[in-house]
Each structure stands twice: as structure tokens, then as C-alpha cells.
Amino acid sequence: MKLPSSITLCEVGLRDGLQLVGALLHRAHVGRVEVRLRYGLQNETYILNTEQKLEMLRGLIDAKFPVIEVGSFMHPRAVPQMANTDEVFKAIGDVPGVELRALIPNLRGIQRAIDCGCKKVKLNVSASRQHNLKNLNMTPEESVAGFASCVDAAVENGIAISGSISMPFASPWEGRITEEDVDAIIEAYLKVGITEISLSDTSGMAVPNQVYNLCCHIKEKYPQATWWLHFHNTRGLAMANIMAAMEAGMDRFDSSFGGLGGCPFVPGAAGNISTEDVLHLCEESGIATGIDITKVIELSRKLKELLNHDMDSYILRAGRSCDLIQSNQD
């Protein structure tokens, strides 16, 4: 198997890992208790305050993450966990050598980024035509075309901007998404000036051969683009999908400490692939990341204590292979 000599990891646990907690708590509060139970988050009653998030963020910076997704600029009533994202950005300021980014929904998100000093934002569109038409009454391409004003505002204010395509492999509505549909969205992003694009398997329906084929396809067809991969571990295939993407030449991945996260639109959705699990894979495979895995494990354990529940992380449960070998020698 051909693997890269190094990869870049973006820690998304502060955003993707925590936002679902608040979002589902809010939905449960307005009477949709079945959603909270179905997603297995009925015990997620703890919302991190600004100081706790800053402590986690400083820990991630100390662990040498090159890219960290700090939060999102969604409406606080929709995603309570992200209500203090502005405060976190103002408090942390610029960090040399670290890209701190946030997810935005629209032009208002750009203004919030300007006001709090955020220098990198990310837009998102669903690859599911049915999902997009039902929620926004637009095709995915029309949604991306509408991002042009966000791109213009970002450029005018010195803010870097990237894009994400959720469910590019499969969705609960259509099943498999065709390469042609993914191409159309990519080309819409390129047309508005966005060349850094993430493929986000939020439905957790991707399989390795499909990941390999699509990654090979887009790398060859769109060499001007920079790619990120974002896998949820809903069906236990996230690590295999990362390996398939690596085999196809991809070397930028999102992950979430403790394996936190999920998707409020997808029944049974699990969190992102655990950061410490990915780091352990790289450590054992001789793939450089520049990230201190021991510090990440400490942070995940601390977050586990704060949230007061188990996390979807093999390394938190079993430890690293090298730790096991050392303990047996002792």
C-alpha cells in the first residue's frame, strides 16, 4: 500500500464535536425528545463555557495542531454550543503558525468573523439534491453560486475562505451520489473563487473503494484545488476510508478528539473519526503529523470527564500499542 510520508490534520472537535450536543439539547427542549434519544445523546447536558473552550483550544495549540476549527457562526438558538465562538476568537487572538477557522452559514457569518478577528472561514453545501431542495429550495449548485457575496466580502477583509461538500459519497435520500453531481458542485465552488474544498461524509455512508475512486477522480480532474477529507465513523469504516484516501494521494484530514460529533439530519449518525486513533495509525505507520499524541490523549480524557460519558476512541479505551508493549516488558 502506498501511503504518504506526512499528513496534515485539522482538529474539528471544538466545532463538529460539540455543536451537536447543544443543537440536540435545543431540539429536545422544544419537544423533539425522540431526536435526542435516537442519537444517543440524552445525557449530553453539559455545554462548555468560554474559559473551558479556551483551555481546550490552548491545549490543541500546545499539541502542535496546524489547523483547528474553533467553532461556527450559526444562530445561537439553533446551535447553543457555538454561541460563544466570537468570544473564543477574540480571547485567543492570532496564533503564529496555526490556522484557526470557523464554519459560516451566510454573509452574516462573514461579518461576525470580521468583528471577532477570525481569519479563515468555511462554507458548506449538501451534495444531496433532495436535501438541498427541501431545506433551501435550491440545487446545490445554486446554493454555491449564492456564496459569491461571501467570497467577495471575505477577500475584501483579508479573510481566507474554503468550501465543504457534505454527503458527497451517499445520502439517506438518494443513496449513492454520482461523480457528475459532485463535479457540478466542485465546479460551482471554483467558479466563485473557492479552491480549497472538503469532502465531508456526514452521513457515514462512504465505503473505501468509492472513496478511492472519487479521490483519484477529483485529484486528476481538478489539480488546481486543495482537498480535505472528513469522515464520520457511523458504520466503523472511517479509518478504512482514510487509508483509501491516502492510497489515492490525499494528505489532509479532519478528525475530532474523542471521536465526538454527529449529524442532526442523519439517523444514528456517529462522530468524526477520533483524532488520537488517526494519530496512532500514523505513528505506527511512520507517517509524520508533527502533533503530540500524548497531549491529545490527555485532552480527550479531560473532555470525557467534563461531558461525563464514554467517547468513541479506541486509544482512550485500549491505549497505544507501544504502551502495551512497554507494560508487558515491565
Domain boundaries along the sequence of the chain = 8-329
Query: What is the number of other CB atoms lying within 10 angstroms of the CB of residue 31?
Result: 8
Side-chain half-sphere exposure of 168, counting CA atoms within 13 A: 28
**One digit per residue, pLDDT tens: the chain, 330 residues?**
888 999 999 999 888 756 655 443 333 332 212 222 222 222 345 678 999 999 999 999 999 999 999 999 988 887 788 899 999 999 999 999 999 999 999 999 999 999 999 999 999 999 999 888 877 789 999 999 999 999 999 999 999 999 999 999 999 999 999 999 999 999 999 999 999 999 999 999 999 999 999 999 999 999 999 999 999 999 999 999 999 999 999 999 999 989 888 776 677 778 899 999 999 999 999 999 999 999 999 999 998 888 887 888 999 999 999 988 866 666
Active site (annotated) includes residue 118: no
DSSP 16: I
Rg of the chain on CA atoms, in Å: 19
Q: Specify the pLDDT at position 201.
A: 95
Phi, psi of 224 (to 5 degrees): -80, -10
Rounded distance between C-alpha atoms, residue 71 and residue 75, angstroms: 12
Q: 8-329 belongs to which CATH class?
A: alpha beta
On whether the CB atoms of residues 274 and 256 are closer than 8 A, the answer is yes
According to DSSP H, which parts of 117-255 are helical? 129-136, 140-145, 148-156, 179-191, 208-221, 238-247
Q: State the catalytic residue, choosing from 116, 263, 282, 322.
A: 263
Q: Specify the pLDDT at position 30.
A: 28
Q: Specify the pLDDT at position 312.
A: 87
Side-chain half-sphere exposure of 235, counting CA atoms within 13 A: 13
Q: Specify the pLDDT at position 267.
A: 72
Rounded to two decimals, the pTM is: 0.89
**Taking Cα atoms as reference points, which of 72, 77, 66, 67 lies closest to residue 15?**
72
Q: Specify the pLDDT at position 19.
A: 61
What DSSP string describes 46-79?
Answer: ----HHHHHHHHHHHHHTT-SEEEEEE---TTT-
